[in-house]
Structure formats: structure tokens, C-alpha cells
Amino acid sequence: MTLDLHELYQELHQIPELALHEFQTHDLLMKQIDALTADCDFAEVQVPEQLPTAIMVLLHGSNPTRTIGYRTDIDALPVTEDTGLPFRSQHEGRMHACGHDIHMTVAVGVLAQFVKAQPTDNLLFFFQPAEESENGGKLAYEDGLFTGQWRPDEFYGLHDNPQLPAGAIGCRMGTLFAGTTEVDVHFTGTQGHAAYPQFANDMVVAASQFIGQVQTIVSRSVDPIEGGVITFGQFNAGTIRNVIAGEADLHGTIRGLTQKMIEHIDDRLRAVANGIAMSYDCQVDLHLNQGGYLPVENNPHLTQEFIQYMEKNPHVQYIETEPAMTGEDFGYLLSKFPGTMFWLGIGDPEHQLHSSELVPNEAAIEPGISAITGWLQQRMTEKE
């Protein structure tokens, strides 16, 4: 089979699908994987019933001492594309604005390298749905996908980075991505006429005071060296200017670089909610949902080896990066298996991830495949 990676990337880019509905994407990937593994007697392909848009490919090693996992995500975002590309999204209101089309293309390219000759260790390729929402990594783990021969001893995965040069590899010891908690708050008081505030209990005031007090959590309850973020991006209350709102809703997010920090912020948020309920004689229902978006905390030993390999490889442009406050559900899998997540530069510094105008530089594909293939081969020589 002749594999045209750039054609594959452009095909994937045109069919973005949302979490747990990646059916066309799944079919296109299966077509490529089936063709690659057709004459490979050490390859085993599985589509799990519990997660039908996922794909698992196991390459049985010739003399395995471990199973090395490599994960790629396959879903897209509800973003309307504004790139003007000739191969732009054909699905209205959906786009690979986070670069998962690049992720998938690189993963298929790495798989293609290893089906040419049997690897020493077992290699597990996991094409994961639902990274952007629905906690796909957590679903896969809880549904028992990683059991028996399908259980990796260590896991690796990349995320593209438009701020890094195309093809560059970025990584760091410790936390790469923040963990997140989704926050929903509902306030219940007493609706009333604007002219008679003494007979009402205004939830616009209560919710506003809640927001104001929450700002002191990061500024006064969090170690500034460690950092954290609390953002409320949605505030809904009231129906008309002359009616005091008896209800209000807030929706926001918490970000932290360690699970301990996230739990500390969660606790402080609960304390503020209880204080507002007492102060304003109202009901405050606080819902905190961590889902599967734990901090992406890289394993110290494996990450040190990974970084040393990339630094010494003359064909790799390695860049040490700072932690990012964006979330990634690979953090859940790294809480269950040791491993490393890293960046692949895609050279579009004018745009951020999730931008409707994001255009990855396709020149990143081959260097990414080469660097990852080399690392996995190097890892197989380490017999611990």
C-alpha cells in the first residue's frame, strides 16, 4: 500500500465529527489501518463494543518485555471553519480546530513504520474518541479496554502546538497540561417587584458577591508559585428590568497544575458558596465536575529519557516548554499508566488552538513521525 499522509490529513480535515459521533472518521481510519495491516501477521485490530468509534491496534513484539501504548485523539470541535482552505471542513459548524487531524495522521504514519518489521516489544495504538468532551480516555479505562493483552505498561501521546515551529518537539518534566473542574452554580432566592426590594431576595446581588469573593481564592489562597485559574464565563439571571431575579446561574471552570491544587480550589469554592448562602439567606447549589480531565503529569523517569533522546537526536528540534493551563484528558490515562505527553509544533503562531482560522503547517507531519518512531525504537532497547 502506498500511504499518502498529506492526502490522509486533508481527508480527515474535511470530515470533523464531535465526541462519540466520529463515524466517518472511524471508517476512514479503519480503511487505512486495514490496508496497512493486511499482510502483517503480528498485527491485531479491535473495535471495542463499549466504545464503537474507538480503534485499538496491537502489534505483537518478537521478544516482548513490555507493552508500549501510543494514543491519538480523533474528535473535533463545534467551531465554524474560517480558513479558506480548499480542503476545508465539509461539516457545517464543525472543525478540527484543535489539530486532531494532525494527531491522527502522525499516528497512522508511526503505525506504518512499525508494520514494516516486527517490533521487539508489543506496541498498542489507541485511536481515542471524545477527547474534547465526554471524557473519552476515562470512558475507555472504565469500560475495561485496557485489560489482558491490551493493557499498556506505559503510554505516550502528543498534542500539536501552533506556537512551536513545524516539526519541533516540545516537552517538560512535571505537568504539561492543567487539570480542570467544570463549575455550575445555581442560586435560589425570592423574586419580587423592583420597587419593593424588601419583599424579595435578589440573586443577581448574591451571585455577583459570589463572583467577587471567588476572585480572592487565587489571589489569597493559592501559592503564587504554583498558580491556578478560576473563570466564570456565563452568568444568567432575570427576565426583565423591573423584576428582581429570584434565581441565577453561573457556569465556569477551574484550572490547576496539580490535582492537589485543583482539590484545594474546589474546597475553597465550597466554602465561599456556603458563606454566600448564609449571608444572603438563599440556597446555593454548587456542582463541581472533574470528569476525566486531570492534570497531565509526566512520569519523571520516562520523561527524562524521552527528553534526553530528543535533545541528542540531530534530526529533532527540541524545545523545553512551560506548563499550559489548557486541559487534556490524557491526564486521566497518565494517572493510571506511567508515560509522557509532548508537543508537536505545527507552525501557525498567529492563531491559538480552537481558533476558527487555525491552519497547521503540514510540514510537521514527517518530522513528527520520525521523532516518535525513533523514540519508540529507542525505548524498546531499554530492558528494565
Q: Catalytic residue numbers? A: 73, 132
> 3-class SS at 280?
coil
Phi first, then psi, for residue 224 (nearest 5°) are -60, -20
Sign of CA dihedral 377, 379, 382, 384: negative
Cβ atoms 262, 161 nearer than 8 A: no
- 29, 44, 140, 147 from 143: Cα distances, Å: 22, 20, 5, 10
- CA 369, 117, 137 angle in degrees (round to 5)? 50
**Distance between CA 134 and CA 329 in Å, rounded?**
10
For residues 213 and 272, the answer to whether their CB atoms sit within 8 Å is: yes
List the one residue out of 105, 110, 9 whose CA is nearest residue 369: 110
CA–CA separation, 263 vs 18, rounded Å? 29
DSSP 198-248: GG-B-HHHHHHHHHHHHHHHHHHHS-TTT-EEEEEEEEEE-SSTTEE-SEE
Q: Which residues contact 84 (CB under 8 A, 6 or more apart)?
A: none
CA distance 89 to 374: 32
CA distance 12 to 307: 30
Cα torsion angle, 196, 201, 203, 205, sign: positive
CB-hemisphere CA count at 13 Å for 169? 30
Q: Residue 117 and residue 373: Cα distance in Å, rounded? A: 12
C-alpha cell at 342: 509532548
CA distance 330 to 322: 18
